[in-house]
Amino acid sequence: MTTSDNPLSRRVSPVTRVFALVCGAWLLGYSLLVCADIVARRYLGVSLQGTDEIGGYTCAALAAFGFAHALATRRHTRIELFLQALPGPLRALANAGAALGMAALAAFAAWRGWHELADSIDFMSVSNSPLQVPLWIPQGAWMAGLALFAAVAALLALHALLLLLSGSFAKVNRWYGPPTVAEEIAAETGRTLPTRAP
């Protein structure tokens, strides 16, 4: 989605994009591992142990990093059934409230994730599988994604709140409201929308 006119998103999204690209490479590597496992089972009669377990770890970590990138680029799904019918100031209040709610959810997820990771470290937990993976390794990657998500969500929520308190309702709605149809079309087609006045 369009983030180019939001100064904070313009700074944050390149960072989250790097992690998204790393996660994409990770997912490609995992896909090759699954293909190798399928070929080995079919033609050699052997199985590479733990591909399903690694898939679970992959899904958890990639989702956590994906949350941050989706938030920085306004790709999280928003229900806007009545939102557009509200006057500008009330719409800005709702959009800032949504940003604050997302930040609270992200902070809670990171807090709970940290407790889970700390328990695994304290008890030296390993997976109940042939791989016997020390759980702090996949949980550490998952926790890093949650921490990035919480940091991005907190920065964006603070920005939205400051804009709201300064009376910049149009900016709150443009940068923190759901993307317009024109913005979604522009994102899908790769076109750039003309810059709108605040």
**150 and 65 in contact (C-beta within 8 Å)?**
no
**Over the stretch 109-157, which tens digit does the pLDDT of each residue have?**
999 999 999 999 999 999 998 899 999 999 999 999 999 999 999 999 9
Token representation of residue 4: 């180019």
Stretch 13-41: mean pLDDT: 95
For residue 133, how far is the Cα from the chain centroid? 25
| CA-to-CA dists, residue 141 to 53, 63, 136, angstroms | 15, 11, 8
**Over the stretch 48-86, which tens digit does the pLDDT of each residue have?**
888 999 999 999 999 999 999 999 999 888 887 788 888
Q: 198 pLDDT band (50/70/90 cuts)?
A: very low
Rounded to whole angstroms, how far apart are CA atoms 128 and 168? 53
**Over the stretch 150-178, which tens digit does the pLDDT of each residue have?**
999 999 999 999 999 999 999 999 999 98
41 secondary structure, DSSP code: I
Stretch 181-187: mean pLDDT: 75
What's the pLDDT at 145?
A: 97
Overall pTM > 0.85:
yes
| CA-to-CA dists, residue 113 to 93, 106, 110, 135, angstroms | 30, 10, 5, 12
Rounded to whole angstroms, how far apart are CA atoms 178 and 80? 7
Average pLDDT of every residue of the chain: 91
Sequence spans of domains, the chain: 7-189
The more confident residue out of 182 and 194 is 182
